A and B are shown apart, each in its own frame.
Chain A
Amino acid sequence: METLTYHTLGLAKIQRTRIFPGRGDVLVRVGQKVDASEPIAQFIPEEKFSILNIRKELNLKNIEDSRRAINIKIGDKLKKGDLIAQSAGTFSKSVNAQFDSEVINIIGSQVILRLSQNPKPIIAGFESIVTEILPFRGVVVETNGALIQGVWGNQKAISGPIISNMNDVFEELTPDKIDVTFRGSIVFGGYCSAIEVLKAAIDLNIKGLILSSMSASLATAAMNCGIPIILLEGFGPLPVNERAFELIKTNETKVASINAIYDVKKFEKPEIIIQLPVEANSPSEGLELKTGLVVRINSGQYQGRAAIVRKINDTKSKLPNGVRSTCAIVEFNDEDLVSIPLANLDILE
């Protein structure tokens, strides 16, 4: 079982490829600067077609008459109401386009139209520069800066200055801690269990929320919330890990992009990126768990705490509840050693 790596880096080169499925267009050029919520491409999620049988529509005798009646050719772009076909004679009938469309084929007396659809945008996700265009497929964007990866997000993105009144990792974000001075900012807070926090954030035009964790009872409301929300640790009352806490506090008031748009099936993660004017190297990917690595415990009594791996056992151990699992011995800051199942560790890199 692979151990997931969550980056919490003060400086890294961050490159992301945004691919769109199906038919689409790239909207930017190489070298262009883009904002987090700026569309860089658009695509049609689902096509729609219409087939018109001109012979039937115009009550014609044969295919030849139909072909003569057709007024358009393959590739023509039509607006609603445009003439498609018209029969000859005094009592001529006509067939007009019911929707904006494109003529993709004419076979016999059939006209096949692709109906125009509203395209769906692909947004950059973070303030960046376009470094590569993948024709008909997508865009590569890049920046340098601090990178903090979270565990859950509500599929939205934005940029704004980070603000926080958190003093320690265990603090809870309650409605009374949000005030009008947070307007236009991305608020960094701890555990959130009150839906009033989300409502206050909307009312006060807060741009986004970075939370350590959240009650799962708010998950649906968070998904439907109009602003991006990222959880750094998970669900339930969990403190933020100290590395992320220090990194975000250090970069308070700087402009950050929070990208809570991610596809878990592609092993993507929601991210906070704080752009910095320094060239950096790309972070290491595909790390394997080994001694010396910094890890976060993601479940159980020590959930949320960071530690260093001191030993990985070869064989399975039996936990107090009777479950068998391969464990690692990890050491906390205070030099306490505990045994944690490998599956309950995230690599913090």
Chain B
Amino acid sequence: MSELIETSSVLGIKIDTHTTKLFLFDIVNGKYHLLATSESDSTHKEPYNDLREGLFKAIDQLQRITGRFLLDNEMNLIIPSQTDGNGVDQIAISFGFLDSVSIITAGLLDSVSIESLSKITQSTHFKHVDQISLNDSRKMDEILTSVINNNPDMILISGGTENGANKSVLRMVEIILFCIKHLPKEKFPELIYAGNSSISNKVQEMVSNLTNLTISENIRPAIENENLRPALNSLNEINNQILQKKIPGFEFITSVARSTPVPYSQSIGTMTNFLSKLSSEKNSNILVIDLNQETIIIAGTNQGNLKLNVEKNFFHNDPDKYLAETNIKNIVKWLYKEIDFEEVNNYLWAKSIRPDTIPVDDKALAIELSMLNALVRRSFQNFQRESGFSQENFNQIVINGDYFSKYENPSELTLILLDTIQPKGITNLFLDQHGILPILGSIAVDNPLLPIQILEGQAITLLAKVFYVQSKAKYDTPILKIKIEYKDGTFLEEQILKESITKLPVTPGQFVKIFFEPMGNIHLSQFGKNIEKGLIVQGGLCGVIFDTRTRPIQLPKKSAERIELIKKWRKNMDL
């Protein structure tokens, strides 16, 4: 194994507008392990105005934790690793900075180039400020107005399958050039052409020396054929160049990376696809939720197709927008304590001023958990709507635990997932304790072995195995009897009631065999084939859970009844 591993130690840098987080990996006993993490506030804004300050603080922490020097006397990163153990062999970077770079896309037809352009922009962190198409209903002066006012950093043009729609594509290029000529010269955007390659030279001629032009492979070489990766790579490179100019210190950080730094969205997309293939289930449906202070990224696979949605976490970045989009009734609805509307409203507005405050009493905690519930729910609904993702059954749901690390009891996070995603079927809930997935996705570009070995370890922990039970029985009716067989041969029986959450007495990591006995009209086939022989399951941090609540979950209208019900569910989750 060791001769296959050319790179020994790897430093992952995960950086966005709020946080700079470092991950140090190295080989122990022939396998990659996560040795340590460290974190600092990002420092590209006042008073430091340079990302390096935050990076060096985080490196300093890492050096103290590991006893390993990563910087030399001149504050340069030591690459490669030295015989004395100092330094690292590889640095990989994944970054946020959502909406820091703006893009206009221009294509021909909605169902062809426009569709592919949308897929590309959805998996980037660009602020997609406009889309121009051949059948654009706007007049030319409106398009000109939009380009001037939006003043994009780059314009991505596509259209025409190979040797197709030559005239239309050239007309589109003319329109774009006409518009950008009316911008101040120093504000001319970067142009990327990723359309019909037979006219690339003509496009080059037309653009001439007006502005920088990058020619990439056609994103839609044939109607039924899509080829997004080359254009995405070009966009990533140009994005990095632009960010280097816009964000002080970004150039230093990216100069030490082996490969072009990758935005969180693409890293998460890579890892979601990878997790889907790793799963023992055929055609595994995976959902990955990466919630951090800057972005909320949700990625899902359905029959091998990846869908992704990236949005800003307005709570931390645009409090006015957060307040405008938040329906306080949705927060009050999920409270497990009686708290009057005025108090919830005051808390919400106070949090909009200081989003990082910690809830110190039970009431504040109740409001805060309900706010998180509303945030995850809305983000998931946005993901479903924007990406057309309709899947309800997930083999695996993975959530970034960084954001939730202040809630010590993993049952809080588990319950939020069950209340918001409301998965059907049998689902494994996983916790990415350190928020490591984005960095694994960026490391995978040069070192595909590392993510595999890290995922085999403790980085992603099983939160719970969840069984959703479909039944038309009435509230509180026993619908299922579960017999749990432990390794020592002992048995335990549990009765599962309708509209309940039941946490089986299975400890984390423990393997048990469970047998199902229906009580009433329950189809055992919903749990899989040959279920009468029993099912071996492993307990997660929250054991094994049966969720028999109707989908979508119905809450009583009267607040006293609603609070009692939510309290009951929390009690069943040991909260």
Interface residues, chain A, CB within 8 Å of chain B?
Answer: 1-2, 4, 46-51, 104-105, 107, 112, 151-152, 215-217, 219, 234-236, 264-265, 267, 285-286, 298-301, 318-325, 340-341, 343-344, 346
Contacts and interface: CB of A to CB of B under 8 A. Distances in A.
Contacts, number: 120
22 contacts: A1-B41, A47-B148, A49-B141, A49-B148, A51-B144, A112-B144, A151-B353, A216-B342, A236-B346, A285-B47, A286-B46, A286-B47, A299-B350, A299-B359, A300-B360, A319-B358, A319-B360, A321-B362, A321-B365, A324-B407, A343-B354, A346-B354
B346 A323 contact: no
Given A47-B148, A47-B149, A235 B349 contact: yes
A343 B356 contact: yes
Contacts of A236: 343, 346-347, 350
A1 B360 contact: no
Contacts of B319: 264
B74 interface: no
Interface string B401-423: 00001111100000000000000
A318 B408 contact: yes
Nearest to B345: A216
Nearest to A325: B358
A235 B356 CA distance: 16
What is the predominant secondary structure among interface residues of chain A facing chain B? mixed
B207 interface: no
B408 A301 contact: no
Contacts of A300: 359-361, 364
B45 interface: yes
Interface string B128-141: 00000000000111
B178 interface: yes
Given A235-B349, A267-B45, A267-B46, A323 B358 contact: yes
A49 B360 contact: no
B361 to A, nearest CB: 6
B258 interface: no
Interface in B43-63: 45-48
Contacts of B47: 285-286
A259 to B, nearest CB: 17
Given A1-B41, A264-B319, A299 B149 contact: no
A322 B409 CA distance: 8
A300 B141 CA distance: 55
B194 to A, nearest CB: 27
Interface of B: 41, 45-48, 139-141, 144-145, 148-149, 178, 181-182, 317-320, 342-343, 345-350, 353-354, 356-362, 364-365, 405-409
B145 A49 contact: yes
A165 B342 CA distance: 27
A217 B178 contact: no
Most chain B beta-carbon contacts within 10 A, residue among A105, A151, A321, A341:
A321
A46 B149 contact: yes
B359 A323 contact: yes
B407 A322 contact: yes
B189 to A, nearest CB: 16
Nearest to A323: B406
A323 B145 CA distance: 51
Most chain A beta-carbon contacts within 10 A, residue among B141, B319, B346:
B346
A285 B149 contact: no
Contacts of B317: 265
A322 B408 contact: yes
A151 B181 CA distance: 44
Nearest to A345: B357
B280 to A, nearest CB: 34
A285 B358 contact: no
B346 A321 contact: no
Contacts of A321: 359-362, 364-365
A299 B346 CA distance: 12
Contact of A299 (B141, B343, B358): B358
Contacts of A320: 360-361
B360 A324 contact: no
A55 to B, nearest CB: 14
Nearest to B293: A1
Contacts of B408: 318, 322-324
Contacts of A267: 45-46
Nearest to A53: B140
Given A216-B342, A219-B349, 6 more contacts: A264-B319, A285-B46, A286-B48, A300-B359, A341-B360, A346-B354
